[in-house]
Amino acid sequence: MKKALYAFLIGTFLIAFLITALFALQFNAHVTINVDQTMAVMPLEGIGACAAVYEGNLADPASAALAVPQLKAAGIGALRFPGGSYADIYNWQTAAPMNGCIGWMPSQNNFTNFMNQLVIPSGAEAIITCNYGSNTNGTNAALDLGGDPNFAAAWVAFANATNHWGIKYWEIGNEIGGNGWSNYFGTKRGWELDMHRDKSPMAYGSNVVLFARAMKAVDPTIKIGVGISQPGVEHDTNASYPYNQCVLTNCADAIDFVIIHWYPGSTSARTLAAPGQIPSIVQSTRVELTNYLGATRAGRVDIAITETSAGTTNNTGVVASLFAADDYLSWIENGIMNVGYQEYHNDILLTGDQHPGQAYYGAQMAHLLANVGDTLLRAASDRGKLRVHAALRRDGRVGIMLINEDRNFGKNVHVTINGTNLATSGAQYQCGLANFVGNDPAPSHPVAPNSVSGLGNSFSVTVPAYTMIDLLIPILTDSPSETSKTNSFHLK
């Protein structure tokens, strides 16, 4: 009798074990979301792009008219101008290089056209990078030829007092850590033009105070940003003069946000995995701000990633699309106010017909997941190559983004959502390899919505290789029993 009982118990245990094992094998990944675990609210300027004065057809009326509907569809809420290193040679009054500087700047890409043809019609914010590197005195070696705070203040006056454009965000220079300041200490050359006699990070911080004082005298509502390094890398590793400390302690009370540029690109696999580093980068930046500004002041200073991209030429096409979506959302859900993809043309829109570029659909999929004012949620995946983001939307839906970074295999994902009751049908958007043809780096087919069923609070979904899926599921308000329902379906 006992032997029979033992045999029965062992058999029952084995069956249960096999069922559990088969269930585990059925799914390549498990995702868990709780709508009570909120992270950050999507700001207007969250999803941005870096527009540069040297880009062909940036702000001429015909091209802008084609671009504006595309920008709105992708949720591009901020455009940075005049762009990268050109900002430190740009004369905003003449829309040309400063005296003695060389650079190609098409006349139609002047500041007024940029605002009237592109920014205002698209409903975006402008993020302006002031010239810190050069001034109108040209090449007179007897003078300090760095950027002039009064010239920047005149720009604020033209924008906000004369034209009433209400531009809020003003960066002081572009990547000034690359100005060759390390020569000041006898090391390497830089890449960023800075004609100040004193190129040290201490001087940069002190000069930012002068810029902020002059510019806020014109409009005290503007926000002043200062460029720093990613903590613990690049110039911040200088043992004698840690860059961020030298800059920030010299402009602590003058700034409203700090700026980091982030290009993690190497191999496609490493680039796609890189957004997993973002929470620790944000935490390290917050620690430095607290250490150098004090806790109270640091709490009032925002962080912006005004340049980022997938980087190397190997990371084109679908890799850039997947990276862009993950990049935008990973920064924003960790409290970053703006993420600017570099650059507007070639990556977001193509010149000529303004057709969507490789990173455009990443921005669009991020926008479809979370619109301005929607709340990003904490979401967990048990597989590194299956990235997940989620949002509690103001339109009464929960949004889920699943990104399969595996280039060879699809992922069968089991999703569990707690904290609310969800409908069993919703909308689905998909973007990935199927949107590209051959080696074309630009998407060939647009993202289109489909209605799907079999959802609810627990379901399964198949995400093809190198593909991302958005699911938007309505919240039920009159059916509490829906929380106990389990449904399964597969999207192919």
In the chain, the number of structural domains is 2
Convert the pLDDT of each residue in 391-413 to its tens digit. Answer: 999 999 999 999 999 999 999 99
53, 83 Cβ separation under 8 angstroms? yes
Place of tokens 């889920």: 400
Residues 271, 420, single domain; the answer is no
3-state secondary structure (DSSP) of residue 54? coil
> Does some domain include residue 5?
no
Percent of the chain with pLDDT over 90: 77
pLDDT at 478: 63
Distance CA 491, CA 473 (A): 15
For residue 303, with 0-12 CB atoms within 10 Å meaning exposed, 13-18 middle and 19 or more buried, which class applies? buried
Name the average pLDDT for the chain.
89
Residues 120, 261, single domain; the answer is yes
Exposure string for 152-163, b = 16+ CB within 10 A, e = fewer = bbbbbebbbeee
Helices 61-74 + 360-369 axis angle, to 10: 40
pLDDT at 71 > cutoff 80: yes
3-state secondary structure (DSSP) of residue 426? strand
Where a domain ends, among 322, 350, 372? 372
Q: What is the DSSP letter of 408?
A: S
CATH number at residue 420: 2.60.40.1180
pLDDT at 143 > cutoff 80: no
pLDDT at 145: 87
Least reliable range by pLDDT among 88-102, 310-324, 435-449: 435-449
> Does some domain include residue 158?
yes
Place of tokens 């647009």: 446
> Does some domain include residue 114?
yes
pLDDT at 490: 34
Residues 362, 386, single domain; the answer is no
pLDDT at 178 > cutoff 50: yes
CATH number at residue 195: 3.20.20.80
Residues 139, 65, single domain; the answer is yes
Mean pLDDT of 130-155: 88
The DSSP secondary structure of 119-159, one letter per residue, reads IHHHTPEEEEEE--S--TTTT-TTS--S--HHHHHHHHIII
Stated as kind and residue range, the H or E segment containing 416 is strand 411-418
Mean pLDDT of 96-117: 94
260, 230 Cβ separation under 8 angstroms? yes
Where a domain ends, among 372, 392, 407? 372
pLDDT at 240 > cutoff 90: no
Residues 354, 427, single domain; the answer is no
pLDDT at 485: 35
Residues 282, 148, single domain; the answer is yes
pLDDT band at 444 (very low <50, low <70, confident <90, very high): confident
Mean pLDDT of 443-466: 93
pLDDT band at 27 (very low <50, low <70, confident <90, very high): low
Report which of residues 485 and 364 the model is more confident about.
364
Report which of residues 387 and 26 the model is more confident about.
387
pLDDT band at 138 (very low <50, low <70, confident <90, very high): confident
Mean pLDDT of 241-263: 97
Distance CA 389, CA 407 (A): 20
pLDDT at 7 > cutoff 50: no
Q: Are strands 425-432 and 449-453 parallel, antiparallel or unpaired?
A: antiparallel
Q: What tokens appear for 382 in the block?
A: 């048990």
> Does some domain include residue 64?
yes
Mean pLDDT comparison of 96-110, 155-169, 225-239, highest-scoring range: 155-169
pLDDT band at 80 (very low <50, low <70, confident <90, very high): very high
Task: List the one residue out of 177, 184, 155, 178 whose CA is nearest residue 167.
Answer: 155
pLDDT at 316: 81
Least reliable range by pLDDT among 129-138, 348-357, 365-374, 440-449: 440-449
Residues 304, 275, single domain; the answer is yes
Residues 246, 283, single domain; the answer is yes
pLDDT at 25: 40
Domain that holds residue 361: 44-372
> Does some domain include residue 119?
yes
Other C-beta atoms lying within 10 Å of the C-beta of residue 18: 10
Where a domain ends, among 325, 343, 372? 372
> Does some domain include residue 12?
no
Residues 109, 226, single domain; the answer is yes
pLDDT at 19 > cutoff 60: no
For the whole prediction, is pTM greater than 0.85? yes
pLDDT at 99: 86
